[in-house]
Amino acid sequence: MAEDTEECTHQCSSCGVAECGDRTAAAAPAKLEPNKRSRIKKVIGVVSGKGGVGKSLVAGLLASELARKGHKVAILDADVTGPSMPRSFGIHATVTADEDGINPVATPSGIEVISVNLMVPEEDVPVAWRGPVITGILRQFFSEVNWGDVDYMLIDMPPGTSDVFLTVLQSLPVDGIVMVSAPQELVQMIVGKAANLTNRMEVPTLGLVENMAYFKCDDCGKQHYIFGEPQGAQVAERYGIEAVATLPMDPALARLVDGGRIEEYAVESALDPILEQIEKVG
């Protein structure tokens, strides 16, 4: 009886090929050529071990704060199947292209954004692409977009440690990672998986943002820990992460994000430990 064979689909999560080089090979160095249309000084990935913890919100806040400090900032929305950056910043224009490449869309404060949702006719059009297509467009987003001079490019990563996560860390010159979590114990365990993977790939984790850490009552001013006591400091110590920041559940922020006005939110000093680590990179 002939031995059953299975053709490689490059989808390692569902693959049945036991001796696959793509699965067993060591992490590769950055393979993409530098973007000749741009000068991107530092690339920072914003990641989480799972969805629903506010990773994109944190990426938007970090970008807004860096821009407020006078830096030229760009956002590469790598969450291709669940892009939220255009809505958060209130940009609805369709990207254009010229002979030099793709042109990003600027937010009101000048942050340049590229996202799949800036390429579809309606923002609720689903993007049902397989892994190789998604990783291919992410490479194009980095190397074929006219970014110009950028001090910090933030990459809003999809949740988890999928092939997109690996593609970004292996193919793009990522200088550091910001982890995003929530107080639940389950989330901390999953964040640990992402932290361990980035450590193995020798990409430094710059800080941990514990989102939805508490709710502050308007009447009494007391902090209520709806999801349990914050655990960010313990998690950071466990995985050797230097900086920790906590963000509250703030209805005012939710309203601004829904209205496409995230740049107007005053984080005050909450993210300063993470911003300091980002500005120290390299």
Instruction: Give the residue from 275, 188, 196, 264 showing the smallest Cα distance to 229.
Output: 188
CA–CA dist 66, 59 (Å, integer): 11
Rank 24-33, 122-131, 271-280 by mean pLDDT and report only the highest: 271-280
Comparing 100 with 131, the larger pLDDT belongs to 100
Report pLDDT for 282. 67
Q: List the CATH code of the domain at 38-277.
A: 3.40.50.300
pLDDT band at 193 (very low <50, low <70, confident <90, very high): confident
- Mean of per-residue pLDDT scores for the chain: 83
Instruction: Give residue 36's pLDDT.
Output: 64
pLDDT surpassing 60 at residue 140: yes
CB-neighbour burial class of residue 273 (10 A; exposed 0-12, middle 13-18, buried 19+): middle
Residue 219: predicted pLDDT: 80
Whether the per-residue pLDDT at 138 is higher than 60: the answer is yes
Backbone dihedral angles phi then psi of residue 232, each to the nearest 5 degrees: -60, -40
Where does the pLDDT of residue 128 fall: very low under 50, low under 70, confident under 90, or very high at 90 and above?
low
Angle at 82 between CA 77 and CA 87, to 5 degrees: 70
Q: Model confidence at 28, in pLDDT bands (50, 70, 90)?
A: very low
* Mean per-residue pLDDT, 256-274: 93
The yes-or-no verdict on residue 3 having pLDDT over 50 is no
Q: Highest mean pLDDT: which of 59-68, 99-108, 214-223, 260-269?
A: 59-68
Cα 33 from Cα 171, distance rounded (Å)? 9
Under a CB-based contact definition with an 8 Å cutoff, are residues 188 and 213 in contact? Answer: no
Q: Which range, of 13-27, 133-147, 191-205, 238-252, averages the lowest pLDDT? A: 13-27
Give residue 225's Cα distance to chain centre.
26
Considering only CA atoms, which of 182, 159, 150 is closest in space to residue 249?
182
Q: Are 174 and 155 in contact (CB under 8 A)?
A: yes
22 pLDDT more than 70: no
User: Residue 15's pLDDT is what?
Assistant: 52
Q: Which residue has the tokens 């696959």?
A: 20
d(CA 101, CA 143): 9
Rounded Cα distance between 169 and 18, Å, is: 24
pLDDT at 43: 96
The pLDDT value recorded for residue 277 is 95
pLDDT band at 26 (very low <50, low <70, confident <90, very high): very low
Predicted confidence at residue 225, as pLDDT, reads 85
Quote the pLDDT of residue 49: 74
